[in-house]
């Protein structure tokens, strides 16, 4: 029997990361005030540009190093760090995420393939019950498009499907995988209106992750570009 393997992203694909960030910002404003909150987000962007991904632990480390004890006492810093460590990620899941994963599991093998800092991404995935929904099939990389062969070896299939909210990642993976992969663009979050490189068009485009429940299995095998 031929096997279909889904590589599914997390941030702004399964989890509403934009709303998570906004809620965290509100907590920071209460704990720190506007000046220190602005410093935190400036460091967040500094780290993101350096590493190419969000890295919360490194951002917090720099925030501690670049804030005096007079500005930021130890107890307040621990409150901030705890907020990130214990954030209730499950309430930020997009609607019908588990039903969608159940459908995809019924027609293939679903693997969460996420990028970012490994510790914080793991917290998101396991604390939101997403790992359980895919029977523990979770792979974490700083830049997942650099690990295509490793992913294929870990979960081999006859055809692959990558589901992501980032146009560049879909484009990069398609350039390597060619006809062996179907690209699915989920138009959620801040990348929804970002242009694809070289006028590339993904195979399937959906407005919401739950729309994938309406995509027949044949289209995941690469039979025509569609929008839902």
What angle is formed at CA 31 by the lines to CA 25 and CA 35, rounded to 5 degrees?
70
Res 1: pLDDT: 63
Q: What is the pLDDT along the chain (228 residues), one digit of tens a residue?
A: 679 999 999 999 999 998 999 999 999 999 999 999 999 999 999 999 998 888 999 999 999 999 999 999 999 999 999 999 899 999 999 999 999 999 999 999 999 999 888 888 998 999 999 999 999 999 999 889 899 999 999 999 999 999 999 999 999 999 999 999 999 999 998 888 888 888 788 999 999 999 999 999 999 998 755 555
Asked if residues 54 and 117 have their Cβ atoms less than 8 Å apart, the reply is yes
- The answer to whether the CB of 40 falls within 8 A of the CB of 28 is yes
DSSP 134-170: TTT-EEEESSGGG-HHHHHHHS--SEEEEEES-HHHH
Contact 10/112 with Cβ under 8 angstroms? yes
Q: Where are the domains of the chain?
A: 4-16+93-227, 17-89
Q: In what order do the strands lie in the sheet with 159-164?
A: 138-141, 109-115, 4-8, 159-164, 181-186, 204-206, 226-227
The neighbouring-strand residues paired with 185 are 164, 205
User: Is residue 181 a contact partner of residue 173, using CB atoms and an 8 Å limit?
Assistant: yes
Token pair 């621990």 in the structure block, residue: 78
pTM for the model: 0.89
pLDDT confidence of residue 106: 96
Give every CB contact of residue 36 below 8 A, 6+ residues apart in sequence.
28, 67, 71, 72
Which fold, 4-16+93-227?
Rossmann fold (3.40.50)
Q: To which residue do tokens 């935190």 refer?
A: 40
């Amino acid at each position: 029997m031929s096997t279909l393997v889904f590589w599914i992203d997390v941030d702004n694909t399964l989890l509403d990361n934009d709303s998570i960030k906004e809620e965290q910002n509100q907590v920071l404003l209460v704990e720190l005030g506007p000046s220190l909150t602005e410093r935190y987000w400036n460091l967040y962007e500094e780290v993101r540009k350096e590493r190419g991904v969000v890295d919360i632990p490194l951002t917090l480390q720099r925030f501690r190093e670049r804030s005096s004890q007079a500005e930021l006492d130890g107890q307040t810093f621990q409150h901030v760090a705890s907020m990130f460590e214990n954030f209730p990620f499950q309430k930020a899941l997009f609607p019908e995420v588990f039903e969608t994963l159940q459908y995809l599991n019924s027609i293939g093998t679903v693997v969460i393939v996420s990028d970012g800092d490994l510790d914080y991404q793991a917290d998101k995935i396991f604390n939101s019950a997403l790992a359980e929904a895919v029977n523990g099939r979770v792979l974490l990389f700083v830049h997942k498009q650099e690990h295509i062969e490793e992913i294929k070896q870990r979960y081999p299939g006859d055809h692959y499907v990558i589901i992501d909210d980032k146009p560049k990642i879909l484009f990069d993976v398609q350039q390597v995988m060619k006809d062996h992969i179907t690209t699915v663009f989920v138009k959620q979050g801040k990348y929804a209106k970002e242009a694809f490189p070289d006028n590339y068009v993904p195979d399937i485009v959906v407005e919401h992750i739950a729309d994938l429940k309406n995509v027949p299995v044949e289209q995941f095998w690469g039979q025509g570009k569609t929008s839902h």
